[in-house]
Amino acid sequence: MATATATPTGTPGPKVNRIGLPVLEYRGGKTTLCAGCGHNAISERIIDALFEMGVQPERVMKLSGIGCSSKSPAYFLSRAHSFNSVHGRMPSVATGAVLANHTMMALGVSGDGDTASIGMGQFVHMMRRNLPMIYIIEDNGVYGLTKGQFSATADIGSKLKTGVINDLPAIDTCAMAIQLGATFVGRSFSGDKKQLLSMLKAAVAHKGTVMLDVISPCVTFNDHEGSTKSYKFMQEHDEPINELGFVPSFEEIDIEYDAGTTTDVTMHDGSSLRLRKLREDFNPTDRVGSVRTLMEAHENGEILTGVFYIDTAKPTFTDLLNLVDRPLGTQPESVTKPSAAVLQKVMAGLQ
Amino acid sequence: MATGDLALGHEQSKSAVVDAQQRVVNDFSIQVATVNGSGSQSANSVLLKSIFNMGVPVSGKNLFPSNIAGLPTWYTIRASKDGYVARRKKIDILVAMNAETAREDILGLHSGSVAIYDETLNLSQYRQDVVCYPVPFDKITAAVCPEARLRKLVKNMVYVGVVAHLLQIDMSSVEAALAKQFAKKQKALDLNFGAVRAGAEYAAEHLSKQDPFLIERMNSTAGKIIIDGNSAAGLGAVFAGVTVVAWYPITPSTSLVEATIEYLKKFRVTEEGKATFAVVQAEDELAAIGMVLGAGWAGARSMTATSGPGISLMAEFSGLGYFAEIPGVIFDVQRTGPSTGMPTRTSQADLLSTAFLSHGDTKHVILLPGSVKECFEFGYAAFDLTERLQTPVFVLSDLDLGMNNWMSDPFTYPETPLDRGKVLTAEDLNRLGGFARYADVDGDGIGYRTLPGTDHPKAAYFTRGSGHNSKAGYTEKPEDYLEIMDRLIRKFDTARTLVPAPVVTGNGKASVGVIAYGSSDFAVVEALDELKKQHAVEVDYMRVRAYPFTQSVHEFVASHERIYVVEQDRDAQLASLLKLDLAADQAVKLHSILHFNGLPIDAESILTELVVKEGL
Ligand SMILES: Cc1ncc(C[n+]2csc(CCOP(=O)(O)OP(=O)(O)O)c2C)c(N)n1
Ligand code: SF4
Ligand SMILES: [Mg+2]
């Protein structure tokens, strides 16, 4: 195994992953977010997931919009190119980047404001295209960076520190993503290390749009009694619909199999995602059922977490475009510039 | 009644000012008035190409409404032995196929012109001084086209036949044009040629030539091509190796992308059937330019095409592209203002807003093609420039240039290899031991970049707006910001030396100079010829081809007493942009000649103003 060669026996050097990198190589700059901000915990889980999955950092492109959440790509994976773009428009930038180099792993970080308000148009269309990328919403129900206004994912009835009550219904980005065509949709909580890590690892193995809505309390503006996106509320109301076990393709599958209560999904790279059902009626490959489950949860005032929907068969946007294997961005001139003879022929046709 | 009308026509011609003996050869304009959606486009195109096939310089312009079917449309064809291809105000021959506008159409003609129309319209009642040729179009069409549902289309070819006969255009020229138009569609070809012949035969039998207008064979179009500016620009992009195209449909830029797609499908699919390009019809222009910048950042040659409303939506991203220094090509085929303005009419009014599009101190590099050939050349060059300069490059053409057919010399193959700009590879990084993304190593204001996926632990950098130091690290320090801003100006000065230089004509000794750009060129050239002919006044002429302006623009202004800036917008945008660059004592020399009614600028309008302003 890679770890064996990279860590010579006897010398207790830093633990390295299967490609021989220590976790340090997955870190980023020092965070400038508030201490205790849920976004920081998510950055940590991203670092863990990429490290554990043995992803080559240079093979990742990080993309984000604008917001506290969108700053966070600066705080993990410094060895990967990153693009902090404009508010709400990261999906288009990601689309362009993926088209230029579809061999890379694209990892997008957005906020609930960045996605569900200003960025809704682009979000919708990216989901619909099933663009191969991981799209994470760090969802705190407020605009952190502009100091605490409600976002469109704030639950109806939730209260700001200032006492303002949100009287509009929340947009459920997961339900939307499923309906629109994303092929891996889940919700987690920044404070749930285990669940979030498994989900992120499975996301790495998926080919297609992964949409993860991660509840991520804003300790400065939205972590108090009355906020449905607070640590306390989440700890009390989090209802996991399934328990995740993820086995990467390079590990042996030896977890016990409990017929009837688990669903195994084979991911694109051969990894296996095991979903232990907590809800008997839940089948993550049934779009209609998934959306219904989410809608029912809203009616009951529950916040569901888990993987809601997986489809490993649907072609991605780059599949549909029938691209050549080599990235478009580095195609040689001999391929991209037609010959003089071709121009001559075109000219002759116009005479 | 047909005969009666015809008889009237005879009578009128006596009172008409026209002297049939005085021949007007290869120098007149035809206007076809139709209803849009009636399928007149192929007929007009065949008529244009028939004249072209006679070796006579010709141009065609479509004046169409923002509507799919049922509203008036005019197509003008100008034959000019002298090679003038700008719009001509004066119409010599009217083909009135639209009953709704026919009266207005004939009333707008000058004395001595010609009207061809459906006999039922009885247009001769309105004008005694116009040569009238009534034609029973429906009857002729019915005879050659048994299928009733095709008659509306085929009817258009009948007027082609009538006009061809009256102007004495060789049938072989028409046939060649038809063969090209309906290549590989033998049935359509037969049907349409049948209609042309029927029109010509009718004219031969029933209309006696009363007007002076004739097409005679010349040799001025040999080796020339006919193409619209949008197709030319798309072709340029394809030869520049564009790989990512993201767009949102908007007239008049749609056909640019559609042409690009056609060429890509033809020339850029591998033997295994794989695409070496990606085209995305985006959800809007914000997304289109976002995709362009994302792709440019990741190493692709990317482009979008739009028009005014789309350009305004691209504002924020354009600023990011400028500050984050990302390549991408944006074609703006200009038209008049809002979507409910006159969206299908030409204009040059996006110049100023594009030059400074977005927030903060942004300035953009703009290329200004003045012919279809330059649409091709700049469509190509824009990609080299954008990657060399690491900044979005705009190409501003307009509806007139983009959507109309123009005669041109064939395009020459760009032999120089693609300039992919300053990109460091993993090997470079091994050698250098790292890099600073925004350091001005070469003193030209342009840093070195790496592409995502470069296999080196020091390849990555963090891309954000202007809040970065030379190593792409986060900063909000005033001195770091100043460094970025100063370097961007240095880069803009480098751009000044790389963009296409202006084209100057004249002997350089005149006291008066004219400055124009883009599609105004054709009308300016003609106006200046007329000025010389009619008033024996010579002026120098500079056609600017890019922003930022090169040093030669300053010299041109300095060496003339008065400068007339000719442009197709209300607010003298080119003059304003020039004035920003010029010293105060130079700026006062600038005077404007503006044309902004939605129609392409014409020589007569320019000449009239020049004459008045110069007191000639
Ligand atoms: C076009 C535009 N409008 C407004 C802003 C101001 N702005 C910056 S961040 C932000 C909201 C961010 O909220 P969210 O995406 O939820 O991120 P968070 O800070 O909560 O993580 C806004 C409105 C902007 N940067 N750009
Ligand atoms: S304001 Fe809120 S979202 Fe922003 S960094 Fe602080 S805690 Fe996080
Ligand atoms: Mg937020």
Residue A148 belongs to domain spanning: 21-349
Name all residues whose Cβ lies below 6 A of ligand 2.
Answer: A 33-34, 37, 39, 68, 140, 144, 218-221
Q: Does A82 touch chain B (CB under 8 A)?
A: yes
B275–A104 CB contact, under 8 Å: no
Spatial strand order of the sheet with B392-398 comes to B278-281, B244-247, B302-306, B328-334, B392-398, B365-367, B546-547
Which among A200, A198, A234, A192 is positioned nearest to A217, based on CA atoms?
A234
Distance CA(A133)–CA(A105), nearest Å, equals: 7
Q: Which two tokens stand for residue B462?
A: 């963090």
Residues of A in contact with B295 (CB under 8 A): 96-97, 99-100, 328-329
SS3 A164: coil
In this predicted structure, the answer to whether residue A8 has a pLDDT above a threshold of 60 is: no
**What pLDDT shows up at residue A7?**
44
Mean pLDDT estimate for chain B: 94
Of A302, A254, A244, A248, give the one whose Cα is nearest residue A274: A244
Residue of minimum CA distance from atom 10 in ligand 1: A67
| pLDDT single digits (tens) B171-210 | 999 999 999 999 889 999 999 999 999 999 999 999 999 9
pLDDT of B440 over the 70 cut: yes
- Provide the shortest C-alpha distance from residue A137 to chain B (in Å): 19
Residue B69 — pLDDT band, cuts 50, 70, 90? confident
Q: With helix as H, strand as E and coil as C, how does B21-56 read?
A: CCCEECEEEEEEEEECCCCHHHHHHHHHHHHHHCCC
Q: Determine the pLDDT at residue B355.
A: 98
The yes-or-no verdict on residue B458 having pLDDT over 80 is yes
What is the pLDDT averaged over residues A175-182? 97
Instruction: Determine the average pLDDT of the residues in A279-289.
Output: 89
- How many other C-beta atoms can be found within 10 angstroms of the C-beta atom of residue A270? 11
Task: State residue B371's pLDDT score.
Answer: 98
Q: How many domains does chain A have?
A: 1
Question: Which CA distances in Å does B419 have to A238, A277, B240, B444?
Answer: 55, 57, 10, 16
pLDDT digits (tens, 9 = 90+) for A11-20: 677 899 999 9
CA distance B323 to B483: 12
Tell me: pLDDT of A4 over 70: no
Flag whether pLDDT at A253 surpasses 80.
no
What pLDDT does A258 receive?
57
Output the CA–CA distances (angstroms, integers) from residue B44 to B106, B165, B174, B405, in the order listed: 19, 15, 11, 11
Give the pLDDT score at B426: 98
Residue of minimum CA distance from atom 2 in ligand 2: A218
State residue B234's pLDDT score.
98
The residue nearest atom 8 of ligand 1, judged by CA position, is A67
Which one is predicted more confidently, A4 or B101? B101
d(CA A323, CA B276): 6
Instruction: Flag whether pLDDT at B20 surpasses 60.
Output: no
Q: If 0-12 CB within 10 Å is exposed, 13-18 middle and 19+ buried, where does residue B274 land?
A: middle
3 state DSSP class of B141: helix
**Alpha helices for B54-170 (secondary structure H):** 102-107, 137-144, 151-167
Choose the closest CB to B291 out of A73, A81, A92: A92
* Distance of residue A207 Cα from the nearest chain B Cα, in angstroms: 18
Q: Tell me the C-alpha distance between B411 and B415, whole Å.
A: 12
* Cα separation of the two ends of chain A: 66
Instruction: Report the percentage of chain A scoring pLDDT > 70.
Output: 94
R_g of chain A computed on alpha carbons = 21
Establish if A13 belongs to a structural domain. Answer: no
A119: enclosing H helix or E strand = none
Residue A193 lies in a domain: yes
Site residues for ligand 1, CB cut-off 6 Å: A 66-69, 87, 111-114, 138, 140, 142-146, 151
The DSSP bridge partners found for residue A63 are A83, A108
Task: Find, among A192, A92, A189, A175, the residue nearest to A139 by Cα.
Answer: A189
Nearest CA to ligand 1 atom 22: A146
Domain membership flag for residue A4: no
Residue B410 identity (one-letter amino acid):
P
Give the span between the Cα atoms of B74 and B99, in whole angstroms: 13
- Which of B276, B393, B235, B379 has the alpha carbon at shortest distance from B326? B393
CA–CA distances in Å: residue A227 to residues A113, A154, A157, A230: 16, 8, 9, 6
Which residue from B274, B284, B415 is facing A121, i.e. has the nearest CB? B284
- Which residues does chain A have within 8 Å of residue B226's beta carbon, measured at their own beta carbons? 350-351
Structure tokens belonging to residue A66: 């604008």
Rounded Cα–Cα distance for residues B318 and B305 (Å): 14
For chain B, percent of residues with pLDDT exceeding 90: 90
Structural domains present in chain B:
7-214 (3.40.920.10), 227-408 (3.40.50.970), 426-498 (no CATH), 503-614 (3.40.50.920)
Please report the DSSP string for A279-331 in residue order.
STT--TT-HHHHHHHHHHHHHTT-EEEEEEEE-SSSPPHHHHTTB-SS-GGG-
Specify the 3-state DSSP secondary structure of B516: strand
Whether A81 and B450 lie within 8 Å, measured CB to CB: yes
pLDDT at position A261: 73
Residue A253 C-alpha, separation from nearest chain B C-alpha, in angstroms: 31
The DSSP code sequence of B334-394 is EB-SSTTS-TTSB--TTHHHHHT-SSSS---EEE---SHHHHHHHHHHHHHHHHHHTSEEE
pLDDT of residue B454: 98
Contact B294 A57 (CB under 8 A): no
The region of weakest confidence among A262-276, A284-298, B116-130, B426-440 is A262-276
Residue B326 has pLDDT above 90, yes or no: yes
Confidence of residue A255 (pLDDT cuts 50, 70, 90): low
Supply the residue whose CA is at minimum distance from atom 5 of ligand 2. A33
Q: Which two tokens stand for residue A321?
A: 């475009």
Q: Is residue A43 part of a domain?
A: yes
A83/B463 Cβ within 8 A: yes
- For residue B9, pLDDT beyond 90: no
Report CA B134 to chain centroid distance, whole Å: 35
Tell me, what CATH number does A280's domain have? 3.40.50.970
Is residue A127 a part of any domain in this protein? yes
The rounded Å distance from CA A80 to ligand 2 centre is: 24
Q: pLDDT-based confidence at B10, cuts 50/70/90?
A: very low
* CB-nearest partner of A84 from B227, B451, B462: B462
Note whether A20 contacts B: Cβ–Cβ < 8 A. no
Mean pLDDT, rounded, for B403-427: 97
Cα–Cα distance for residue pair A108/B543, rounded to 1 Å? 46
- For residue A40, which atom of ligand 2 is closest to its CA? 8
Percentage of chain A lying above the pLDDT 90 cut:
77
Q: Is residue A11 part of a domain?
A: no
CA distance A105 to A61: 6
A289 CA → ligand 2 middle, Å: 35
Which residue, among B225, B164, B233, has the nearest Cα to B192 in the 3D structure?
Answer: B164
Residue A80 — very low, low, confident or very high, per pLDDT cuts 50/70/90?
very high
pLDDT band at A9 (very low <50, low <70, confident <90, very high): low
Residues 6+ apart with CB under 8 A from B195: B140, B141, B144, B145, B154, B155, B157, B158, B160, B161
B96 SS3 class: strand
Task: Give residue-wise pLDDT tens across range B276-320.
Answer: 999 999 999 999 999 999 999 999 999 999 999 999 999 999 999
What percent of chain B has pLDDT above 70? Answer: 97
Residue B6: predicted pLDDT? 35
pLDDT-derived band at A256 (thresholds 50, 70, 90) equals low
What is the distance in A from the centroid of ligand 3 to the CA of A114? 7
Residue B416 CB: number of other CB atoms within 10 A?
A: 8
For the segment B593-598, the average pLDDT, to the nearest whole number, is 96
- Interchain CB distance below 8 Å, B451 and A329: yes
Q: Which of B1, B7, B67, B10 is nearest to B34 (CA)?
A: B67
- Partner-chain contact B298 A61, CB within 8 Å: yes
pLDDT digits (tens, 9 = 90+) for B496-508: 999 999 999 998 8
Cα dist from A119 to A98, A145, A188, A273, whole Å: 19, 16, 21, 30
- Please tell me whether the peptide bond between A248 and the residue prior to it is cis, using omega within 30 degrees of 0: no
Is residue A3 in some structural domain? no
Return the ∠ at Cα B558 (arms to B556 and B560), rounded to 5°. Answer: 75
Q: A226 with A159: CB under 8 angstroms?
A: yes
Structure tokens at B227: 């193409």
Question: By C-alpha distance, which of B141, B143, B132 is closest to B161?
Answer: B141
CA dihedral B533, B534, B536, B540 (to 10 degrees): -70
Please indicate, yes or no, if residue A10 is contained in any of the structural domains.
no
Residue B370 and residue B375: Cα distance in Å, rounded? 7
Position B71 confidence tier, pLDDT thresholds 50, 70, 90 = confident
* Sequence-distant (≥ 6) Cβ neighbours of residue A262 within 8 angstroms: A274, A275, A276, A277
Q: Tell which one of A34, A112, A229 to mutate to probe ligand 2, the residue whose CB is within 8 A of the most ligand atoms.
A: A34
Residue B52 is encoded by which pair of tokens? 């072209």
pLDDT of B441 > 50? The answer is yes
